[in-house]
């Protein structure tokens, strides 16, 4: 007898033994008096007094979930994208740096839920591969308009949509109507000769912790999958300093492929778009996040407009997204929003605001939290003037600030050309990367003692940065000997360089520790 057969038998015996214990306990609960006296008998004993079993007629039990699934199912679509990307150049030594946590940790930081490489790829010509990925979406207009996540369709050469009632193999080509990087939402459209089943959007503010919800989508490509759970929490900030992303947390199972699909309440209304999970394995771990429908509606209505973009007001300041009483005590602020950074040349800078000032009113209306300030300013049109009250060194002061277009003010961060005349079309930077200021939390996590530098959020395929080896998660400390400590520093250095000039980045590679040191990445700007 071979070892494998032995293992199977041993395992089977253990299973039978365990099952017997469970079965005995179950019987003991049901007919305890019989068990206590024992049961006698042999195989083949007469059973003429036994009553045959039968299957009862189908009953209409609690069917609210199934009714919602039938109602919403046809409006939930499977999205298949294809894109051609350049293969990643390997760093010196032939290996890419690994994540400091052995996988998962840094990916949670950057991949933003199923944002990594898609499923199967194949040759696509000169140093490129054909990348395929799967996601979900929900039809919100019978004319074929679909809401999904931006990262599902980002950089796709071809987008195809499969409806649940489509025959096998039938898919519909879709085009991107608009996308918003700040909320990771996108609107796509398929052209049909008939109305498409569409979903109703609900008011996410009406949801309470503990309310039942369903998640519908295509996890792992399994079209039309429905999972149930509750609202676990509201107003979750899961990405540091993301000012327009607070999420509904749910324990409804969400997995790769659910991204862009709807979270639905028991009235059959979409109250969220499934966007992220918290997991060390990139699979369901009981914590998922959906972008609230109220945010979805605001973004959607602008993306389908003439400009196909979301315009938000900004004055050019940053502050801690998590309130800390120690800040208020040190700066003597009381209530309000204490400024941690002022963008050089921004409206706030021109109005005289400085780091350490605490904004406590907008046009005479009290402001206590950062979310309130952002919501107010973001809703105002660029060019509008606003009166800000603020506290500096214990003294109350006022200033007038002219609201700017956020997409232009933070052009480097948002991957848009600040001087673009066509505001509806995002432009790529000269280097082909987007960066973000290194927060204290990031510096601590990445083991960067000085806290200086900017972290690379995205690298465009075929760009100058990719050609010299820059990747997501790298920390850029210097460009041509100039320290880079903010997006403004990065933008200034980038704008000063022209085609044909040498560019040298001093970089702490992703996953490297202080002991590993820094490296140069250099090339000539095309």
What are 314's strand-pairing partners? 404
Angle at 293 between CA 322 and CA 157, to 5 degrees: 95
Single out the catalytic residue among 83, 133, 136, 151.
Answer: 151
Single out the catalytic residue among 107, 108, 184, 251.
Answer: 184
Nearest to 303 by CA among 140, 187, 142: 187
Query: CA separation (Å) from 253 to 139, 256, 284?
Result: 21, 10, 6
Q: How many CA atoms lie within 13 A of 468 on its CB side?
A: 22
259 is catalytic: yes
Q: 177 with 213: CB under 8 angstroms?
A: no
Q: How many CA atoms lie within 13 A of 332 on its CB side?
A: 6
151 is catalytic: yes
> Residue 289: helix, strand or coil by DSSP?
strand
Nearest to 354 by CA among 331, 370, 377: 331
Cα four-point dihedral sign 88, 186, 106, 287: negative
How far is the C-alpha of 173 from the C-alpha of 188, rounded, in Å? 10
308 is catalytic: no
* DSSP string of 313-337, one letter each residue: EE-SEE--SS--HHHHHHHT--SSE
Region of 114 please: left (phi>0), alpha (psi -120 to 50) or beta.
left
How far is the C-alpha of 114 from the C-alpha of 34, rounded, in Å? 56
Query: CA separation (Å) from 237 to 115, 141, 246, 263, 298?
Result: 18, 30, 5, 18, 19
Q: 359 with 370: CB under 8 angstroms?
A: no
- Give the other-Cβ count within 10 Å of 196's Cβ: 20
Region of 235 please: left (phi>0), alpha (psi -120 to 50) or beta.
left
* DSSP string of 213-237, one letter each residue: EEEEE-GGG-TTEEEEEEEEEEEE-
Which residues in 315-443 belong to E strands, given as ranges? 317-318, 337-338, 341-342, 358-362, 365-366, 385-392, 395-402, 404-405, 433-437
How many residues are there in the chain? 526
Q: 190 with 171: CB under 8 angstroms?
A: no
Single out the catalytic residue among 75, 259, 290, 407.
Answer: 259
How far is the C-alpha of 449 from the C-alpha of 44, rounded, in Å? 80
Q: Residue 223 has which token pair?
A: 């079209």
> Residue 207: helix, strand or coil by DSSP?
coil
How far is the C-alpha of 473 from the C-alpha of 446, rounded, in Å? 9
Active site residues: 151, 184, 259
């Amino acid at each position: 007898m071979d070892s494998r057969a032995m293992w199977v038998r041993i395992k089977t015996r253990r299973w039978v033994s365990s099952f017997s214990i469970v079965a005995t306990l179950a019987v003991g609960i049901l007919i305890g008096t019989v068990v206590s006296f024992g049961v006698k008998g042999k195989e083949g004993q007469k059973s003429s007094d036994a009553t045959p079993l039968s299957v009862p007629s189908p009953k209409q039990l609690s069917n609210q979930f199934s009714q919602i699934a039938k109602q919403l199912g046809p409006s939930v679509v499977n999205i298949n994208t294809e894109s051609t990307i350049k293969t990643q150049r390997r760093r010196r030594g032939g290996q890419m740096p690994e994540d400091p946590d052995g996988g998962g940790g840094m990916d949670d930081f950057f991949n933003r839920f199923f944002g990594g490489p898609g499923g199967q790829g194949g040759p696509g010509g000169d140093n490129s591969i054909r990348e395929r990925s799967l996601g979900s979406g929900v039809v919100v207009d019978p004319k074929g308009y679909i809401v999904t996540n931006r990262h599902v369709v980002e950089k796709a050469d071809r987008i195809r949509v499969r409806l649940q009632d489509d025959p096998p193999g039938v898919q519909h080509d879709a085009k991107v109507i608009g996308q918003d990087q700040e909320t990771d939402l996108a609107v796509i459209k398929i052209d049909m000769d008939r109305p498409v089943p569409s979903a109703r959007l609900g008011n996410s503010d009406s949801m309470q912790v503990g309310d039942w919800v369903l998640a519908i989508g295509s996890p792992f490509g399994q079209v039309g999958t429905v999972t149930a759970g509750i609202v676990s929490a509201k107003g979750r900030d899961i990405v540091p300093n993301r000012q327009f992303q607070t999420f509904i947390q749910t324990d409804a199972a969400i997995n790769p492929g659910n991204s862009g699909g709807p979270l639905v309440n028991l009235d059959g209304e979409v109250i969220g778009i499934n966007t992220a999970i918290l997991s060390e394995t990139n699979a369901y771990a009981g914590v998922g996040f959906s972008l609230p429908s109220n945010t979805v509606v605001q973004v959607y209505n602008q993306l389908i407009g003439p400009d196909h973009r979301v315009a938000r007001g900004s004055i050019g300041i940053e502050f801690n997204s998590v309130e800390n009483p120690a800040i208020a005590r040190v700066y003597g602020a009381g209530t309000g929003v204490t400024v941690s950074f002022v963008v050089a040349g921004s409206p706030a800078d021109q109005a005289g605001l400085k780091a350490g000032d605490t904004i406590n009113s907008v046009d005479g209306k009290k402001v206590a939290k950062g979310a309130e300030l952002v919501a107010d300013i973001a809703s105002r049109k660029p060019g509008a003037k606003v009166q800000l009250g603020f506290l500096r060194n214990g003294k109350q002061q006022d200033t007038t600030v002219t609201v700017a277009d956020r997409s232009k003010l933070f052009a480097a961060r948002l991957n848009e050309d600040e001087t673009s005349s066509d505001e509806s079309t995002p432009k790529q930077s000269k280097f082909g990367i987007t960066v973000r200021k290194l927060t204290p939390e990031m510096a601590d996590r990445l083991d960067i003692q000085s806290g200086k530098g900017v972290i690379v959020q995205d690298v465009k395929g075929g760009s100058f940065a990719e050609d010299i080896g820059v990747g997501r998660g790298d920390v850029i400390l210097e460009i041509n000997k100039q320290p880079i400590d903010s997006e403004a520093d990065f933008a200034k250095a980038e704008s000063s360089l022209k085609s044909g000039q040498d560019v040298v980045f001093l970089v702490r590679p992703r996953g490297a520790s202080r002991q590993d040191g820094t490296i140069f990445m250099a090339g000539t700007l095309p």
